[in-house]
Amino acid sequence: MRESDLLCRVKRRKAKTTNSKHRFPRHPNLIKGKVISDLNQVWLADITYIRIRTGFVYLAAILDAYSRKVIGYAVSTALETTLTLEALRMAIERRKPRPGVIHHSDQGVQYASEEYVIELQKHDFLISMSRTGSPYENAMMESFFKTLKYEEVYLCEYETYADVKERIPYFLEAVYNQKRLHSGIGYLSPEEFERWLLNQQITREFRQTLLTASVQS
């Protein structure tokens, strides 16, 4: 029956996570062509959906573009600004970023809303958005969500909201951040890469201290 194309194909319903038809201001893309060379230089934000037995659950996530580390996330059954705000506030609490970090997202209402923009401005973020219908302008987030779906979501039987609330944080914290290797950061995990960067910084500062002491003596 499969060879004769006689099997019934079930069309699976998809959830739309981006609503760009709103009254809020749009912001230009600040990361196009930009060379990212440090942590907390560019944060990437986006939303995806996870199918459960009764419908959909939504995941908002924020990645550090340099290390690929998930630094903030939130899960909800409601596709509202409170979802993205929760992920943003987690990232801010964890990283305590300096002024001038670029926050890059799509033009969806959850990121363009007055409440979300005020939160960004309060912490001196530079706001960047990809063009409508241009997922490649946030390609790293698309790649991250693809990894999440194929290495976790599609392999597990998510039936309830409670399943998602239990499994997703574990995958993000214990698997993706700690163990998932990336060719773009020397085949290290995000956590390993950030530790390596910290060690490099400590080594440079130690050498500079020794050099300064030698000159003064």
Q: Is the pLDDT of residue 183 over 80?
A: yes
Q: Is the pLDDT of residue 135 over 70?
A: no
Structure tokens at 71: 């630094």
More confident residue, 16 or 74: 74
> Domain for residue 123, yes or no?
yes
Burial of 137 (0-12, 13-18, 19+ CB in 10 A): middle
The parent domain of residue 127 ranges over 42-180
> Domain for residue 136, yes or no?
yes
Task: Assess contact for 60 and 50: CB atoms under 8 A.
Answer: no
Give me Rg for the CA atoms of the chain: 20
> Domain for residue 193, yes or no?
no
Against a cut of 0.75, is the pTM above it? yes
**CA–CA dist 217, 206 (Å, integer):** 17
* pLDDT confidence band for 210 (50 / 70 / 90): low
Average pLDDT on 20-48 reads 89
CATH number of the domain bearing residue 102? 3.30.420.10
> Domain for residue 47, yes or no?
yes
> Under DSSP, is residue 80 helix (H, G, I), strand (E, B) or coil?
coil
Average pLDDT on 163-178 reads 96
> Domain for residue 207, yes or no?
no
> Domain for residue 186, yes or no?
no
> Domain for residue 102, yes or no?
yes
> Domain for residue 69, yes or no?
yes
Average pLDDT on 101-109 reads 94
Nearest of 165, 172, 167, 159 to residue 54 by alpha carbon:
159
Q: How many domains does the chain have?
A: 1
Q: Among 34-38, 155-159, 165-169, 191-195, which stretch is predicted with the lowest mean pLDDT?
A: 155-159
72 bridge partner residues: 62
**CA–CA dist 48, 79 (Å, integer):** 10
